[in-house]
Amino acid sequence: MTDFRGDTAAPTASPTQQSSRLSFTKGHGTGNDFVLTLDPEGEAPTDAAFVAALCDRHRGIGADGYIRAVRSSALPEGRALLQTDPGAEWFMDYRNGDGSVSEMCGNGVRVFAHFLLTRSAAELPEGGELAIGTRAGVKRVTRSGDGYAVDMGPWEFIVPEAAIARGTDSLVAIGGLDVDRPALSISMGNPHTVVALAEQTELDRTELHSAPAVRPLPPEGTNVELVVPADPLVGEDGVGRLTMRVHERGVGETQSCGTGACAAAAATRFWAGEGAPAQWLVTVPGGIVGVTFFDGPEGREHVQLSGPAVLVAEGILLPGA
185-205 residue pLDDT tens: 999 999 999 999 999 999 999
Band of pLDDT at residue 17, cut at 50, 70 and 90? very low
Q: Give the SS3 label for residue 123.
A: coil
Q: What percent of the chain has pLDDT over 70?
A: 93
Band of pLDDT at residue 62, cut at 50, 70 and 90? very high
Band of pLDDT at residue 81, cut at 50, 70 and 90? very high
Give me the chain's average pLDDT, please: 92
- pLDDT value of position 20: 67
Residue type for position 115: F
Q: What separation in angstroms does the CA of 210 have from each of 53, 64, 79?
A: 19, 15, 37
Range with the poorest average pLDDT among 12-16, 23-27, 62-66, 122-126: 12-16
Catalytic positions, written as ranges: 105, 257
Average pLDDT over residues 226-252: 97
C-alpha to C-alpha distance for 214 and 236, rounded to whole angstroms:
36
Average pLDDT over residues 17-35: 86
Q: DSSP label at 177? A: -
Band of pLDDT at residue 320, cut at 50, 70 and 90? low
Average pLDDT over residues 110-137: 96
Range with the poorest average pLDDT among 14-23, 32-41, 237-246, 308-317: 14-23
Band of pLDDT at residue 290, cut at 50, 70 and 90? very high
Find out whether 282 and 264 touch, Cβ atoms under 8 Å. Answer: yes
Burial of 1 (0-12, 13-18, 19+ CB in 10 A): exposed
β-sheet bridge partners, residue 288: 283
Say if residue 71's pLDDT is above 50.
yes
Q: What percent of the chain has pLDDT over 90?
A: 88
